[in-house]
Structure 1
Amino acid sequence: MRSAATNPPIIKLTDLKSPVLTALQQGALAMAAAHPVTFSVEAVLAAARAETGLTDFGAVDFLPRLAVWLQSIDEDDNASAITRANLFQMTVRYAATRLRMEDIIRRHPEILAIHIDRPIIVAGLPRSGTTHLLGLLSADKRLRSLPWWEAIAPVPAPGDEPTQADPNPRHTRAAQGWQAYESLLPYMAIMHEFSADHISEDIELQALDFSSYLIEWLAHVPRWRDFYLSQDQRGPYAYMKKAMQVLTFLRGPNRWVIKCPQHMEQLPALYDTFPDATFVLTHRDPVGSIRSAMTMALYAARILRKKISPAEPASYWPDRYERLLRACVRDRDILPVAQTIDVYFHEWIKNPDAILREIYARAGLPLTDAALAELHAYLEAHGEQDKGRLEYDLEGDFGLTAEAIRKSFGFYFARFPVKAEVA
């Protein structure tokens, strides 16, 4: 629920370039440094086998991708010990989840016959209206969504059974994990509100096949970026669909709403995987999203990077967004007109209900006034808290201006009637 405060505090992060570390941050860095990790395919697979007691990873075509994934992380000389530990643990988690996925499919082969019925798929840059839209759609109980607690532990492990003391251990772990992260980086919640119930991006399911642009957000991995962009992503998207079948088997229904910015650069793979989907593409001035991404990276750098360098995010993210949006412009017209809607932020904020009705019409789902009121009521009760507003300073923090960044996106503004917002 949004805060009732009419004047949320404006927060200026004054130590982005020269962070003053808290005792908790210093302790976390020291603990991670005392327990170094080794990035190798066998180390990851062995840890996943030991965690699960399982051995069958399914098709092994993911192994070359995993090798490049790990090599790219290992080459990041400026990654802190926390970054390395987190990425190793995350990679093991994906491998362990894959083992559990393959195990439940082996025991229940009927899973692969489950039909994923006409999903609604949202693709749009961060801060382009996707969070609000996804929140509304996921409140519709006719649709299946992916809360964070389930995204990071899709298949229950032994010990995850509900008890009177803890009806959902997976949810409890997810909540504890986010609270620990927020205690290390308290302002992250302002830049990216999160909780165990937050509806996750489906990128967590693509990562089970060791692909996607995910690790680009967590380390400096140009080798992985180039490798990932050179590969046909239909295989990883097919694995994501298989994971959705498993999740439907465990906790239906079989009509999904999913979201990920990456879909904007993978429209051919997305359409081939879900040819009967309703595609919702959200659009907004990319400068705002880039500014947010760079500021988030520079803030997190105090524990994720050895040395603070505003040039790292400033040299990476404008170029990365340009690559993504060029692919979107190139491939947008492969999506069927009758199944696709472009949503513009300046229109969404004026009249979201009219756009929502059009999405439902294209998806073939009835949306009554009463049902629409229920969606708004749910979002009001379960939405994000307004913890303040961050004051951004592109020029002061990164030596860039909105105008200079926007010049690289003329092709995007020429294709889509997006309004420039950031001055």
Structure 2
Amino acid sequence: MMLDVPAAHTLQMPARRRIAWANRALERSWAKGWSPVPDLSPDALVAEARKRVPGGELGDPGVWRVNLDVLCADLLSGEARLSALGKTMACGQLVAALRNRMLAHRLWAEHPEIADVPVARPVLVLGQMRSGTTRMQRLLACDPRLSWTRHYESWCPVGRARRLRAAATLGVMRALNPEFSVIHPTSAGAPDEEIGLFSLATYGATFEAQWRVPGFARWCEGRDTRPVYAEFKRLLQTIAWLRGGREHRPWVVKVPQLTQDLASVLETFPDARLVRVERDPVATVASAASLVRNQMRVQSDAVDDAWIGREWLGKVRLRRERVEAALAARPEVPVVEVAFDNMNRDWSGEMRRVYAVIGLELTPKVERRMRRYLARAAREGRGGHRYAIEEFGLSEGEVRAALA
């Protein structure tokens, strides 16, 4: 099956050269003793983070420490096949996440009133990775009666110069991997998914989608996620508090990770309304695998496309099963189902169905804002190319049978 998708098949030549140059420079620096090889052991990462937040506390180890231990075991075993740049990026990401964790716990200790900030009746955009959830979230973000998370708030939820730090990181990533800006256009202030908040717990697809870490993935799939989501809610409360505590609008929350953990999500947000987005399963798996491949190629010179295909087919299947089980157990939860193709044909009609469930009128003014967003997104998404599900060692029939 051939698919028209954003350019994710290969890294552009200038980016490949930059990555190769960075790998050579890092390896030479390590060989000459000019800089240390990144230490990806858990204790070393925690120690490095403590240098940046002296006296910082990390909170309940049951939320984050075992996750970190399992992730680092995969990284240190060589399973992820990280390049020099990959090791450097992994170290930087994990230290930054631990730093953010310490800053969050310091803020919570200083301001316990954050725990009282309401997150009332959130609208959860529920769907697989690459199923159209970003489009849905950003359409809803056109409505000033709803609240949403900005990119910088997801990745830098606490600390100083949050927007500047997020923008700088995006700049580096665009230089190394310009195709990702086509796959998932964003900016520091744009509406974006809350995946960055999970990094504070060293949890989930934040890491699974960029490194080959199957042991970590299986651990996350099997652990009790209720403590992770209790902290996730506290981070949303923190974002609202940092805005001045005036965010009493329903919050639009969108992370594909929610599909894997929906039972815990609904326990944490019992009054949530769900917008469930579905896409053709072959397109979903192929697009997800393409995104993962694009991310992995920046940090590894030994990316196995067939492994990615198997891993993410299994992930999509598991997440679908988890959603069905959670919804069957909670039939009272309001849900509206939206098909990707129907959005392509009649987005306005589909959004009216969504608004009926979330209890708002789709006003002409909001609809005009949505129309402008879609026109802008169409311009930003130009320059696609074709690729096939078979590139990931899968067939259309195999995917459809697995997800029947």
Q: Does 1:344 align with 2:345?
A: no
What is the distance in 2 between the residues matched to 1:117 and 1:127?
A: 27
- Give the aligned CA root-mean-square deviation in angstroms: 2.7
Identify the residue that residue 402 of structure 1 maps to in structure 2.
Answer: 396
Q: 1:267 aligns with which of 262, 266, 276?
A: 262
Secondary structure at the aligned position of 2:82 is classed as coil
* 277 and 136 in structure 1: CA distance in 2 versus 1, 3 angstrom threshold: same
Residue identity in the other structure for 1:272: E
Deviation digits for residues 9-68 of structure 1 (CA, Å, limit 9, x no counterpart): 99695789xx99743121111234335211222222222221123422222323222211
Secondary structure at the aligned position of 2:224 is classed as coil
Contact 1:76 1:220 in 2 (8 A): no
Q: Does 1:55 align with 2:47?
A: no
* 306 and 109 in structure 1: CA distance in 2 versus 1, 3 angstrom threshold: same
Worse-matched range after superposition: 302-311 or 41-50: 302-311
What is the distance in 2 between the residues matched to 1:48 and 1:15?
A: 32
Q: Does 1:253 align with 2:247?
A: yes
What is the distance in 2 between the residues matched to 1:322 and 1:336?
A: 21
Identify the residue that residue 172 of structure 2 maps to in structure 1.
Answer: 180
Identify the residue that residue 39 of structure 1 maps to in structure 2.
Answer: 40
Q: Does 1:113 align with 2:108?
A: no
Q: Does 1:242 align with 2:234?
A: yes
Q: Does 1:219 align with 2:211?
A: yes
The TM-score, its normalising length taken from structure 2, stands at 0.87
Secondary structure at the aligned position of 2:338 is classed as strand
Deviation digits for residues 334-377 of structure 1 (CA, Å, limit 9, x no counterpart): 34445211111222222222332332332233432233323433
Matches within 5 A, 1:119-268: 119-157=122-160, 160=161, 170-251=162-243, 252-254=246-248, 255-268=250-263
Contact 2:186 2:192 in 1 (8 A): no
The TM-score, its normalising length taken from structure 1, stands at 0.84
* 291 and 32 in structure 1: CA distance in 2 versus 1, 3 angstrom threshold: farther
* 55 and 272 in structure 1: CA distance in 2 versus 1, 3 angstrom threshold: same
Q: CA deviation at 1:223?
A: 0.8
Secondary structure at the aligned position of 1:351 is classed as helix
* 386 and 227 in structure 1: CA distance in 2 versus 1, 3 angstrom threshold: closer
What is the distance in 2 between the residues matched to 1:333 and 1:105?
A: 36
Identify the residue that residue 357 of structure 1 maps to in structure 2.
Answer: 352
What is the distance in 1 between the residues matched to 2:370 and 2:8?
A: 34
Contact 2:142 2:366 in 1 (8 A): no
Contact 1:83 1:218 in 2 (8 A): no
Secondary structure at the aligned position of 1:341 is classed as strand
Deviation digits for residues 176-218 of structure 1 (CA, Å, limit 9, x no counterpart): 3223222222323333323323422222222322222321111
Identify the residue that residue 419 of structure 1 maps to in structure 2.
Answer: none
Identify the residue that residue 72 of structure 2 maps to in structure 1.
Answer: 70
Residue identity in the other structure for 1:135: R
Worse-matched range after superposition: 214-223 or 170-179: 170-179
Contact 2:19 2:176 in 1 (8 A): yes
What is the distance in 2 between the residues matched to 1:374 and 1:351?
A: 16
Contact 1:123 1:280 in 2 (8 A): yes
Q: CA deviation at 1:390?
A: 2.1
